[in-house]
Amino acid sequence: MKITQVLYKQNIGRLIKWQWRVQRKKTLIETNAEKVLTSRSIPIIDAKQFLHEPLFEAQKQDVKEIFNNIVGPIKLEPKLNNTHPLWNDDPCLVYGDHNVLVHGLEQAKVFTNAIEPEPGLPKYFKELYEAYRLPNQDEHIQRIIIASILYDAVQEKLPIRKDPKRPAWKFPRDYGIPDKRRNNLIVSRMLQLCESSVGNMSSNKVIERCFFKVPLQRNANISLNLRADLLLLSDTSLPPVMDDIQGDLPDLSPLDYKISLDEINIYHKDEFISPITGKFNNVHTAFIHYNETEVKNLYETPVLETQIMGRSLMKCYAFAVANAKSKYGENVKELPEPITLQCVQTNSQWFHFSIFQLNSLDGPEENGMKNIYWQTPLLNLYKKCVFDEGVPVLDDYNPEVFKNVLSFYMNGTEYEIK
């Protein structure tokens, strides 16, 4: 045992306990104030006479008036039951940003009354695809990828990793760039590269994180509550790709195409919300993010590729219907002309490109015109982007992805194809 240096310290804890023991009993100090006032013939009045009087008068008032005189009363939130002022006995089926359809793309085609005429994008996109190319295009995109995935200074706690085979195992907590910020950086910088290289078109307008709420009637109350993370609006609409199409919708029997939607009873009936107003009242391209921390399957199973494609189609349909109602009125039934828009969905690594043409607002129950949908498979922008022994490494860069982004941006413009 090592003998340490003796420090002549006092036991402060013992002194504090002694002070508590001494001070726990308070003795009244005689001030002789009453004797001095009495000697000077000054009357002494008990203060309780004045304290009881206002309290007695207040008790005569109504209780509601007393609460109204209180500054800043806290209003209790209404209970989420049938006593809520927005309660409806008829439930509403809601499709939100976190939802995916259980049957994926086929269920989305039935819901949106859409037919895919051929795999891939329309033929005229091949001309746009080959016509436009920016100087040092691939070098710029690779720099954007590394800057967005590796060099960003934001470091936050990432979601806890789980191993299904070892559910009790706790991994070390990971820090890095959250998926929402990573997606936003990739998309916004790609769009900025298009604008800086081609020129900012005065006929376009960009809106970030805009919310849509589109009500539908399909033998039930349906509401599409969706968000466009980045919306490119134009003052001129995109031309329709095809006049009409004939075909049959996928067979989902015995399932109903409205299955896996959230059911709620507290909602505003027929509430329509759209940011599309003014001069720029045409949706050109919608960029949507696939955040793994937000998008979940209803039955807690992994999200499939067909469900990701169905999510793109559902968002295209919601934005197109909102565009039609904003231009022609909320009660529009027949469209004067088709609504055509483009959509890009990404998780910052893969990209999904799609085009949707809204010909009719009819549901699959009605024998009306069919809507048209084109799409590409999921295209990987890169395979791996990590630090390898302190050196940034980008493997398997795919230049075809940005070519599609640039062709989407240039579609419908007045630039001459060279």
Amino acid at 117: P
369 SS3 class: coil
Q: In the predicted model, what is the mean pLDDT of residues 73-100?
A: 87
Residue with tokens 């086929």: 106
- Comparing 43-52, 263-272, 288-297, the range with the smallest average pLDDT is 43-52
Q: What is the pLDDT of residues 114-159, one digit of tens each?
A: 999 988 898 888 777 777 778 888 899 999 999 999 998 888 998 8
203 SS3 class: coil
CB contact at 8 A, 338 and 213: no
Average pLDDT, the chain: 86
Strands 175-176 and 156-157: antiparallel
Q: What is 357-370 written as a DSSP string?
A: EE-----TTS--PP
Is residue 286 classed exposed, middle or buried when 0-12, 13-18 and 19+ CB atoms within 10 A define those classes?
buried
Whether the per-residue pLDDT at 99 is higher than 60: the answer is yes
Q: How confident is the model at residue 418 (pLDDT cuts 50, 70, 90)?
A: very low
CA 216 from centroid of its chain's CA atoms: 21
Whether the per-residue pLDDT at 200 is higher than 70: the answer is no
Distance (Å, rounded) from C-alpha 386 to C-alpha 158?
16
Q: What is the pLDDT of residues 290-341, one digit of tens each?
A: 998 889 888 778 899 999 999 999 999 999 999 999 998 888 888 899 999 9
Spell out the residues 6+ positions from residue 355 whose beta carbon is closer than 8 angstroms to its own: 121, 122, 241, 340, 341, 342, 343, 373, 374, 375
Tokens representing 34 are 């009453």
Angle at 311 between CA 278 and CA 294, to 5 degrees: 95
Amino acid at 402: F
CB contact at 8 A, 104 and 307: yes
Distance (Å, rounded) from C-alpha 115 to C-alpha 372?
5
CB contact at 8 A, 95 and 226: yes
Beta strands in 62-203 (DSSP E): 87-95, 114-115, 156-157, 175-176
Amino acid at 54: P
Amino acid at 172: P
CA-based end-to-end distance of the chain: 89
Distance (Å, rounded) from C-alpha 93 to C-alpha 222?
5
Spell out the residues 6+ positions from residue 76 whose beta carbon is closer than 8 angstroms to its own: none
73 SS3 class: coil
Q: Half-sphere exposure of residue 416, counting CA atoms within 13 Å on the CB side? A: 1
* Torsion, CA 358, CA 361, CA 367, CA 371, rounded to 10: 10
CB contact at 8 A, 87 and 266: yes
Whether the per-residue pLDDT at 30 is higher than 90: the answer is no
Sequence length of the chain is 418
Q: What is the pLDDT of residues 220-232, one digit of tens each?
A: 899 999 999 999 9
Q: In the predicted model, what is the mean pLDDT of residues 243-262?
A: 87
* Main-chain phi, psi angles of 130, to 5 degrees: -90, -15
Q: How confident is the model at residue 81 (pLDDT cuts 50, 70, 90)?
A: confident
Distance (Å, rounded) from C-alpha 230 to C-alpha 31?
76
The pLDDT, as a whole number, for residue 338 is: 92
Q: Which residues of 139-172 are buried (b: 16+ CB within 10 A; e: fewer)?
A: ebbbebbbebbeeeeeeeeeeeeeeeeeeeeeee
CB atoms within 10 A of CB 294: 13
Q: How far is CA 79 from CA 64, 82, 366, in A?
A: 22, 8, 39
The pLDDT, as a whole number, for residue 235 is: 87
The pLDDT, as a whole number, for residue 144 is: 93
Between 137-149 and 179-198, two packed helices, what is the crossing angle to 10 degrees?
150
- Comparing 50-54, 185-189, 383-387, the range with the smallest average pLDDT is 50-54
Helix or strand (DSSP H, E) at 263: strand 262-266
Q: In the predicted model, what is the mean pLDDT of residues 241-256?
A: 86
Q: How confident is the model at residue 9 (pLDDT cuts 50, 70, 90)?
A: low
Helix or strand (DSSP H, E) at 381: none
Amino acid at 152: D
Whether the per-residue pLDDT at 202 is higher than 60: the answer is no
